[in-house]
């Protein structure tokens, strides 16, 4: 009778066209795979809203590698290759590390074995995952550039004095008065301390409801969006 393998499951979802529910789908498929293989699942590692391009930002992934070094399990189960990595260097570095430790890795939804054909399929799927990631980044940047050309909102927090209406920057009158005063006083040669004191005396507050300080004034005066960029 063969020795029962200790398996762990790794699941991840990123923000690109995925939802948090996809974690449940991945884990369910991996558990069913382990049941059929008669593996004993000892842990489930989950990274939520994390990119596969940079493994350094994935806390659960890195904890899993640390546990692998201490030989806490025998095999890692992923749903698909793109849940592991979308970068060839990261993928094959990870594979080499596991091989050195004598730990296996398998995919619940992709039948990849150690035959020449299986290894060729693995290489192709790794390449497809890397291509998808890079193309997605390119298309996202293209969309952001197009929004910028149209002077549309590109995400983040609009600067003080503006609000967003139908993806367009619209002046927020009360905040705009504070911004105008800041620039007028700075151009007149007043320092940050005097400007902050004047704003407080007139009842102006930051968007967070605080008095203006040197850092907030510095950020406003250095924000290129106020020049129309």
Instruction: State yes or no: pLDDT of 72 exceeds 90.
Output: yes
Q: How confident is the model at residue 178 (pLDDT cuts 50, 70, 90)?
A: very high
21-30, 48-57, 90-99, 147-156: least confident range: 48-57
Please state the separation of Cα 229 from the chain's center in Å. Answer: 26
Please give the residue that has the higher pLDDT: either 135 or 206.
Answer: 206
Domains of the chain listed by start with CATH number:
6-138 (3.40.50.1390), 162-227 (no CATH)
User: Which helix (H) or strand (E) element contains residue 168?
Assistant: strand 168-171
Rounded CA Rg of the chain = 26
Mean pLDDT throughout 107-122?
84
DSSP annotation string for 93-156: HHHHHHHHHT-EEEETTS---SSHHHHHHHHHHHHHHHHHHHHHHHHHHHHHHHHHHTTB--SS
Instruction: State yes or no: pLDDT of 114 exceeds 90.
Output: no
Instruction: State yes or no: pLDDT of 1 exceeds 50.
Output: no
Sheet strand arrangement including 40-48: 40-48, 6-13, 75-78, 104-107
DSSP 8-state code for residue 5:
P
Sign of CA dihedral 104, 110, 115, 116: negative
Please give the residue that has the higher pLDDT: either 12 or 32.
Answer: 32
Instruction: State yes or no: pLDDT of 131 exceeds 80.
Output: no
Mean pLDDT throughout 93-99?
92
Average pLDDT, the chain: 84
Please state the separation of Cα 35 from the chain's center in Å. Answer: 32
* Predicted local confidence at residue 139, as pLDDT: 66
Mean pLDDT throughout 175-180?
93
Residues 6+ apart with CB under 8 A from 181: 195, 198, 199, 202, 204
Query: Angle, nearest 10°, between helix axes 88-101 and 59-69?
Result: 30
């Amino acid at each position: 009778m063969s020795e029962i393998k200790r398996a762990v499951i790794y699941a991840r979802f990123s923000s690109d066209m995925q939802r948090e529910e996809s974690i449940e789908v991945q884990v369910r498929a991996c558990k069913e795979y382990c049941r059929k293989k008669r593996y004993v699942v000892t842990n489930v590692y989950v990274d939520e809203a994390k990119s596969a391009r940079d493994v350094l930002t994935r806390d659960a992934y890195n904890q899993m590698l640390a546990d692998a070094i201490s030989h806490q399990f025998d095999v890692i189960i992923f749903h698909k290759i793109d849940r592991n990595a979308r970068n060839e260097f990261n993928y094959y570095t990870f594979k080499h590390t596991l091989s050195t430790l004598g730990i296996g890795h398998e995919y619940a939804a992709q039948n990849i074995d150690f035959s020449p054909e299986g290894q060729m399929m693995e290489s192709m799927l790794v390449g497809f995952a890397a291509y998808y990631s890079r193309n997605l980044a390119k298309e996202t940047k293209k969309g952001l550039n197009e929004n910028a050309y149209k002077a549309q909102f590109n995400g983040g927090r609009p600067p003080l004095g503006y609000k967003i209406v139908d993806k367009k920057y619209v002046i927020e009158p009360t905040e705009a008065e504070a911004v105008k005063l800041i620039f007028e006083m700075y151009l007149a040669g007043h320092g940050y301390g005097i400007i902050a004191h004047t704003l407080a005396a007139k009842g102006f507050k930051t968007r967070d409801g605080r008095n203006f300080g040197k850092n907030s004034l510095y950020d406003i005066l250095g924000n290129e969006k106020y020049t129309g960029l």
